[in-house]
């Protein structure tokens, strides 16, 4: 009988540890051997000795932390390629979260666990879509694991932004969006909606937008906001990290319409409290319906929840006849980074 994944995959303070392979998935501190799902800072930490990840994730890590800190030895796995580590088959399958994001499929003596990393099921023109893989244990995030979280269609949120620009044609629209994934998805969705004017960027967003373009994701005419003529920003879209939207940086703009793109914008009080005039509910994480659909799609009898709102999800899983387990891993879901 194949060994149950709980005998060979253990939650540890550093993260999920594959015992026979002796590697960690998305470890929260520097380790000897790491498999990294994607480039967000809560999953991709600096200083590992050996890193296995998608080529895109490795490129993102090098841009964010520098060549030296992105891993002493870096090994890229192509989608679906099987890498053998001490008798464990490891393969990386797209997760649909940000460019290069992957689930980690682990096969050991006839038993299979899939570690999702962060994921979503909605279409995203900037990355490969999530591929469901049947498994014995599916390890999921639950950032939006409450029935109240049902993300609207992203294209409809983009339409809201474009509509606001017709109502306030002389005001800059300052949109808060995180630097890895959200900013590029927002730009790509605007381009898809037919918006081809220049989009102005806060300096912190430039490098990753450049990298996306290098890796084959076209983003159109992007210009630095900092050196732009004040008049050019009137009636334009300006993207900045959410922290910059709230601070001094935004004051260079004359009476901007302040927007933020995040799954958390579903929570009205949160939008209001942070002075957001135009909340855009655009998320790179699975919502409640996507979480449940994914559980069905991977046909796993058992689901482990790494982080997020797990109580409601665990209850729902038991109603669906699935065994659920809260891993309560610490150090993930830093909302300041990824949402
Ligand atoms: Zn993430
Ligand atoms: Zn995360």
CA of 38 to the centre of ligand 1 (A): 7
- Residues, Cβ < 5 Å to ion ligand 2: 42, 118, 332, 338
From the CA of 335, how far away is ligand 2's center (Å)? 8
Distance CA 57, CA 76 (A): 9
254: confidence class by pLDDT, cuts 50, 70, 90: confident
Q: How far is the C-alpha of 175 from the C-alpha of 194, rounded, in Å?
A: 18
Beta strands in the chain (DSSP E): 9-12, 15-18, 23-25, 33-35, 50-53, 73-76, 83-85, 88-94, 102-108, 111-115, 137-142, 173-176, 199-201, 222-224, 237-240, 257-261, 278-280, 302-308, 323-326
Spacing, Cα 117 to ligand 2 middle (Å)? 7
Average pLDDT over residues 11-33: 97
SS (H, E, C) 80-138: CCCEEECCEEEEEEECCCCCCCEEEEEEECCEEEEECCCCCCCCCCCCCCCCCCCCCEE
Distance 332 CA to ligand 1 centre (A): 9
Residue 99 Cα to ligand 1 middle (Å): 10
Residue-level pLDDT at 336: 47
Q: In this predicted structure, what is the pLDDT of residue 334?
A: 57
Distance (Å) from CA 242 to ligand 2 centroid: 17
| Separation of alpha carbons 284 and 157, rounded Å | 14
Query: What distance in angstroms lies between residue 135's CA and the mean position of ligand 2's atoms?
Result: 22
3-state class of 326 per DSSP?
A: strand
CA gap 239, 193 in Å, rounded: 17
- Is pLDDT of 44 > 60? yes
Whether 77 shows a pLDDT value over 60: the answer reads yes
- What the block records as the tokens of 227 is 């050196």
Mean pLDDT of the chain: 94
In this prediction, residue 279 carries a pLDDT of 93
Ligand closest to CA 120: 1
Nearest to 198 by CA among 159, 178, 172, 216: 172
- DSSP single-letter state for residue 4: P
How many whole angstroms from 3 Cα to the centroid of ligand 1? 30
Distance between terminal CA atoms of the chain?
Answer: 42
Q: Which of the ligands is closest to the CA of residue 40?
A: 1
* Distance in Å, CA 333 to ligand 2 centroid: 4
Burial bucket for residue 338 (CB in 10 Å: 0-12, 13-18, 19+): buried
Residue 87 has pLDDT above 90, yes or no: yes
- Binned at pLDDT 50, 70 and 90, residue 307 comes out as confident
Instruction: With a cut of 80, say whether residue 146 has pLDDT above it.
Output: yes
Range of weakest confidence among 59-63, 148-152, 177-181, 224-228: 224-228
CA–centroid distance, residue 179 to ligand 2 (Å): 14
Q: Which ligand is nearest to the CA of 96?
A: 1
More confident of the two residues 312 and 249? 312
What mean pLDDT do residues 258-263 have? Answer: 92
pLDDT digits (tens, 9 = 90+) for 312-335: 999 999 999 999 999 989 888 755
Please tell me the number of the ligand nearest to residue 15's CA: 2
Task: List the beta bridge partners of residue 133.
Answer: none
Q: pLDDT-derived band of residue 249, with 50, 70 and 90 as boundaries? A: confident
SS (H, E, C) 250-284: HHHCCCCEEEEECHHHHCHHHHHHCCCCEEECCCC
What is the Å distance from ligand 2's center to 152 Cα?
A: 21
Residue 270 has pLDDT above 90, yes or no: no
Domains of the chain: 5-148+285-338 (3.60.15.10), 154-280 (3.40.50.12650)
In the reported structure, the alpha carbon of residue 40 is separated from the centroid of ligand 2 by a whole-number distance in angstroms of 7
Please answer whether residues 13 and 93 qualify as being in contact, where contact means their C-beta atoms are separated by less than 8 angstroms. Answer: no
């Amino acid at each position: 009988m194949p060994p149950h994944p709980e005998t060979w995959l253990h939650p540890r303070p550093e993260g999920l540890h594959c015992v026979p392979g002796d590697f960690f998935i998305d470890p929260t501190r520097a380790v000897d051997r790491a498999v990294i799902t994607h480039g967000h800072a809560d999953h991709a930490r600096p200083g590992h000795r050996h890193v296995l990840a998608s080529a895109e994730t490795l490129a993102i890590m090098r841009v964010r932390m520098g060549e030296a800190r992105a891993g002493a030895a870096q090994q890229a796995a192509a989608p679906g390629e099987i890498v053998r580590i001490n008798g464990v088959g490891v393969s990386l399958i797209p997760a649909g979260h940000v460019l290069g994001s992957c689930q980690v499929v682990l096969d050991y003596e006839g038993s299979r666990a899939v570690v999702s990393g962060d994921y979503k099921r909605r279409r995203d023109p900037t990355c490969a879509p999530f591929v469901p893989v049947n498994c014995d244990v599916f390890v999921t995030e639950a950032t939006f694991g409450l029935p109240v979280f049902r993300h609207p269609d992203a294209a409809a949120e983009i339409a809201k932004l474009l509509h606001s620009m017709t109502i306030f044609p002389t005001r800059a629209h300052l949109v808060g969006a995180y630097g890895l994934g959200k900013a590029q998805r927002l730009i790509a969705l605007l381009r898809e909606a037919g918006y081809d004017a220049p989009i102005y960027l806060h300096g912190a967003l430039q490098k990753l937008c450049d990298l996306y373009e290098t890796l084959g994701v076209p983003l159109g005419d992007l210009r630095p906001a900092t050196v732009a003529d004040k008049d050019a920003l009137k009636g334009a879209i300006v993207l900045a990290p959410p922290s910059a939207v709230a601070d001094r940086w935004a004051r260079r703009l004359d009476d901007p319409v302040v927007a933020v793109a995040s799954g958390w914008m579903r929570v009205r009080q949160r939008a209001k409290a942070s002075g957001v005039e135009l909340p855009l509910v655009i998320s790179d994480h699975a919502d409640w319906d996507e979480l449940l659909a994914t559980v069905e799609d991977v046909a796993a009898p058992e689901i482990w929840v790494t982080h997020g709102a797990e109580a409601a999800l665990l209850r729902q899983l038991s109603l669906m006849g699935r065994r659920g387990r809260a891993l309560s891993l610490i150090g993930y879901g830093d909302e300041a980074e990824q949402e």
